[in-house]
Structure formats: structure tokens, C-alpha cells
């Protein structure tokens, strides 16, 4: 029942023997299994339109993946539209519990299969080759749990064009490392090695990419400096991998330092908001997309090169990492602007952009999370224990409360119980179908046997009737 937020595409095992009661059993089985592979936050605010749904996906934050992987939304929050793609930033982290890894992977694989979702899987490139290799090994293990047809692409490295900016805040990042990655060729060499291993695993037709920030568009055609040789890298990757390589960029108007407070004010940002928190032609994201498409063509020589927007999103409450003038404007990080940005994103008809349109775009993100240890509030849901969507009326009460959600999460047997119930119901349904088919088969053979023994007498009488009729 799509209107109630549930759909199940299971095909009846024997449509000819399906009674009304048996169809109900099938739906119950679907619902039981759905309890392990889908989640939907509660709200009283719904948006009717999701344009180009097949080209839009959700970015899966680290909090959801490591702490509540059984609660990945199967529909877009505040809509009834199914999620068809997810961006995963990493397969796992050394800082996360090893005991939870296989559980998270199993939940993700089940979610992908049950909901027909494709994933963009990320693997890191950092200043620690040992950690990168460990991460890559985890990535390969995760990929082995899904089929190539379920993988939209593999992203090798994320936002390396601004890695040098983190030298001052991250002790693991040094100037020597950044120079080695770019000028020393370490990044390009590792990228090729990863792709070669993907090919050997049977993922040779899966697109590959690395994701840069919108700042990479600041060159001709892209930035090309010792600490971020983006143009050089993109030219090499495009030449070697051709149509398989996807050009990917993150666009965040929320963090753009170019936006200033309204003239003569110390806390107003009406003018900045009007061009940042929207998705019409002159707004920042569509304009950046158009600019990027033109620059991509300069590098590849192809107007139809694969082009993805890796992330875009808005924060409310204010992100702790916001350090532009917009940090002084309360409206910038307000709930109203957050809601407008998300609503306009859903309503954005990507294809209306014509040739400049991206092939795919991801919204960041499912839940509030931490980036480099700093709290950010981009999530469409607050926490793993939240029953409600972030976008809701002030006095809204969910039909199920957060305490129930928390209790369910604290009981590992909860999901297994749902799965067990689903298996039992499906087994009973299959057994019923078999019994019905056997019984009908016996009845049919009995009728055939009966009609065969009386056929001679009936045939003679029939002939007589025919002749009499003649």
C-alpha cells in the first residue's frame, strides 16, 4: 500500500492458488521482512513532488552507518518516494567498533537488495598509506557482499583538493604529504592500482571517480597548483578511463565564503539567502552545475561525460564548522531555510537544465553527524533514536515515540524477531501453495480417469444424438 508507506514487489509463488487470505499472508511476510530492511521517520509535513527521483540519492552519514544501519530510510524523509541510491563515504573506520562492522555490512546489503538501491561506495586517500590500505581492504570485502549491478560507482578519495587546508587542524596531514600526493604522483598511482583491483574483482564495468569540492572550479579549467593539481589529474583520468570516469564535485552554498551580510547590517542575510537556498536557474547550485559541465567538456572533449554532484545540503541548527559571515545571521541556519532548501531540492527538475544537467546528485545527509570531530546538523533526522523527521510541526507528536525507538535499538533480537516472523510466514505460504497444487492435481487426475472410463458409452450416445439431430 504505497499511500501507507509500504510496498513489496514479491511475486506470488503460485498466482493460480492465491486466495484472499493467502495474499494477506504474503503481505504480512513482506511487512515482517521490511522491518529489517527499511525505516521511515514520522512527520506531519509531506512534499508531493520529487522530480527526477532516479537521479537523486541520499548521502549516508557515518552516524547512521556505524550506529543504526538497520534504520536507513527506504523513502525520502517527508515524502512517500523510495530512495533509489545511496552514497557511502567509507566501508568502515579504525575508530569504530570492529564488532559492529559485519552487522552494518549485512544490514546495508539487505537494504540494497530489498529496496533495489544502488550505492556509490567511497574509499579514502589520506596521508597514511597503511590506513588507506586497511580501508581499501574493507571496501573490497563490502563490495563482495553486493553484485556489480548494485554498485553505481566507486569513489577513490574525497575532497583532496582542499586537503592542504586541513594541515593546521589535523596533525596527520603535513605539507610533505600533500605535495607527495599531488606532485609526487602518489594519488594518481594509488587511484590506478585501486581500479585495477576492481577490474580483477569483476567490477570492470562500474564507473570510477574521485570527488572534489566546488572550489576546484576556480581554475582554467580547474585549479592546478602544487597542493591540488586537479586539472592534471582529471585530464589523465579522463584519457585513461574514458566514459567510465565520472567527474564529481560537492556544492555547498551554506559554506561559501563569498556570501556577505546585507549592507549596513550585522545579522541580516536576505540577499545571500535568496541566491544560495534555492534551485532555480540563477541560484548557486544550478549555476555551479552549468559552469562545471562546461569545464568538464574542456577536459574530456565530450559534452556528455559522466557528471555527478557528490553532495549538497543545508544545516540547521548552525554547523559548528561555519566560519563565514553567515555565522552571524540567525536566518541562515534557521529551520525555515533548512526546510526550503530541502523542499526545493526535491522539486528541482534536473533535466530542465538540458545539456548542463548532472547525471546524478546526492543530498547530504540522513542524520546529524560529526565531520573531523566537529558537530554538523545537515541531517534530515536528528539521531539514531529519533522517531520523527527533523522537518515537522513544532507540536507534532509521532505515532510511535522515541522511547520505543530507543528500546528497539537496544535489543539486538528485535530485528531478528522480525526476520524470523517473515521467514515463518513465507514458509507457511509456500507450504500452503504446495498442498493446494497437489490437491488440485489429484482432483484433476481423478476427473480425467472418470471421464475416460465413461467415454465409450457417452460417445455412442453422442453419436446417436448427432445422427438423430441430422
Beta strands at 369-371 and 245-250: parallel, antiparallel or unpaired = unpaired
SS3 395: coil
CB distance 343 to 278 below 8 Å: no
Backbone angles phi, psi at 462, to 5 degrees: -65, -40
pLDDT at 353: 80
pLDDT at 441: 65
CA 84 to mean position of chain CA atoms: 6
Residue 11 to residues 8, 14, 127, 349, Cα–Cα distance (Å):
9, 9, 50, 33
Q: At what angle do helices 186-200 and 230-241 cross, to 10 degrees?
A: 30
Q: pTM here?
A: 0.80
pLDDT at 404: 40
CB distance 75 to 83 below 8 Å: yes
pLDDT at 453: 42
Rounded Cα distance, 316 and 333, in Å = 5
Rounded Cα distance, 294 and 353, in Å = 13
Rounded Cα distance, 315 and 37, in Å = 27
CB atoms within 10 A of CB 394: 5
Rounded Cα distance, 170 and 332, in Å = 28
SS3 59: strand
Rounded Cα distance, 434 and 425, in Å = 14
CB distance 265 to 329 below 8 Å: no
Residue 116 gets the label, from left (phi > 0), alpha (psi -120 to 50) or beta, of: left
Residue 432 to residues 14, 17, 29, 30, 443, Cα–Cα distance (Å):
10, 9, 14, 17, 17
Rounded Cα distance, 17 and 435, in Å = 10
pLDDT at 416: 54
Rounded Cα distance, 345 and 50, in Å = 8
Backbone angles phi, psi at 264, to 5 degrees: 80, 5
pLDDT at 442: 67
SS3 170: coil
pLDDT tens for the chain, residues 1 to 470 = 333 333 343 333 443 444 444 443 443 444 444 444 578 999 999 998 899 999 999 999 999 999 999 999 999 999 999 999 999 999 999 999 999 999 999 999 999 999 999 999 999 999 999 999 999 999 999 999 999 999 999 999 999 999 999 888 888 899 999 999 999 999 999 999 999 999 999 999 999 999 999 999 999 999 999 999 999 999 999 999 999 999 999 999 999 999 999 999 999 999 999 999 999 988 999 999 999 999 999 999 999 999 999 999 999 999 999 999 999 999 999 999 999 999 999 999 998 888 899 999 999 999 999 876 777 899 999 999 999 999 999 999 988 654 344 334 433 444 555 556 566 766 776 777 676 676 766 665 665 565 444 433 333 333 333 333 33
Query: What are the residues facing 358 on neighbouring strands?
Result: none
Rounded Cα distance, 106 and 112, in Å = 10
Amino acid at each position: 500500500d504505497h499511500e501507507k508507506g509500504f510496498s513489496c514487489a514479491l511475486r506470488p509463488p503460485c498466482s493460480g492458488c492465491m486466495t484472499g487470505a493467502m495474499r494477506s499472508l504474503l503481505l504480512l511476510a513482506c511487512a515482517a521482512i521490511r522491518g529489517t530492511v527499511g525505516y521511515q521517520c514520522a512527520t506531519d509535513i509531506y512534499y508531493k513532488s520529487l522530480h527526477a527521483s532516479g537521479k537523486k540519492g541520499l548521502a549516508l552519514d557515518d552516524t547512521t552507518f556505524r550506529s543504526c544501519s538497520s534504520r536507513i530510510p527506504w523513502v525520502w524523509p517527508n515524502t512517500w518516494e523510495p530512495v533509489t541510491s545511496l552514497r557511502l563515504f567509507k566501508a568502515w573506520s579504525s575508530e569504530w567498533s570492529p564488532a559492529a562492522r559485519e552487522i552494518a555490512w549485512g544490514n546495508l546489503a539487505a537494504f540494497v537488495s530489498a529496496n533495489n538501491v544502488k550505492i556509490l561506495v567511497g574509499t579514502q586517500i589520506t596521508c597514511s598509506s597503511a590506513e588507506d590500505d586497511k580501508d581499501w581492504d574493507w571496501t573490497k570485502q563490502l563490495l563482495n557482499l553486493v553484485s556489480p549491478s548494485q554498485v553505481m560507482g566507486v569513489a577513490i578519495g574525497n575532497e583532496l583538493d582542499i586537503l592542504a587546508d586541513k594541515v593546521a587542524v589535523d596533525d596527520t596531514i603535513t605539507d610533505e604529504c600533500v605535495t607527495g600526493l599531488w606532485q609526487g604522483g602518489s594519488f594518481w598511482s594509488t587511484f590506478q592500482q585501486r581500479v585495477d583491483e576492481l577490474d580483477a574483482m569483476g567490477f570492470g564495468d562500474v564507473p570510477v571517480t574521485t570527488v572534489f569540492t566546488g572550489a576546484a572550479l576556480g581554475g582554467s579549467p580547474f585549479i592546478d597548483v602544487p597542493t591540488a593539481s586537479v586539472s592534471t589529474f582529471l585530464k589523465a583520468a579522463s584519457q585513461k578511463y574514458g566514459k567510465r570516469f565520472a567527474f564529481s564535485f560537492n556544492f555547498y552554498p551554506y559554506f561559501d565564503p563569498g556570501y556577505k551580510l546585507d549592507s549596513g547590517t550585522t545579522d541580516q542575510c536576505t540577499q545571500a539567502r535568496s541566491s544560495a537556498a534555492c534551485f532555480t536557474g540563477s541560484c548557486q547550485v544550478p549555476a555551479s552545475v552549468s559552469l562545471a559541465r562546461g569545464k568538464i567538456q574542456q577536459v574530456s572533449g565530450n559534452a556528455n561525460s559522466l557528471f555527478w554532484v557528490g553532495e549538497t545540503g543545508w544545516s540547521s541548527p548552525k554547523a559548528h564548522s561555519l566560519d563565514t559571515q553567515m555565522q552571524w545571521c540567525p536566518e541562515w541556519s534557521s529551520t525555515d531555510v533548512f526546510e526550503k532548501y530541502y523542499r526545493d531540492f526535491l522539486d528541482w527538475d534536473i533535466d530542465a537544465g538540458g545539456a548542463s544537467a548532472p547525471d546524478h546528485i546526492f543530498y547530504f545527509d540522513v542524520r546529524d553527524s560529526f565531520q573531523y570531530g566537529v558537530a554538523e546538523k545537515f541531517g534530515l533526522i536528528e539521531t539514531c533514536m529519533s522517531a520523527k523527521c527533523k522537518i515537522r510541526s513544532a507540536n507534532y507528536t509521532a505515532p510511535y515515540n522515541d522511547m520505543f525507538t530507543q528500546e528497539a535499538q537496544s535489543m539486538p533480537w528485535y530485528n531478528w524477531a522480525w526476520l524470523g516472523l517473515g521467514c515463518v510466514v513465507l514458509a507457511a505460504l509456500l507450504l500452503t501453495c504446495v498442498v493446494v497444487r497437489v490437491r488440485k492435481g489429484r482432483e484433476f487426475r481423478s476427473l480425467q480417469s472418470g471421464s475416460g472410463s465413461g467415454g465409450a458409452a457417452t460417445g455412442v450416445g453422442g453419436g446417436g444424438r448427432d445422427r438423430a439431430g441430422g
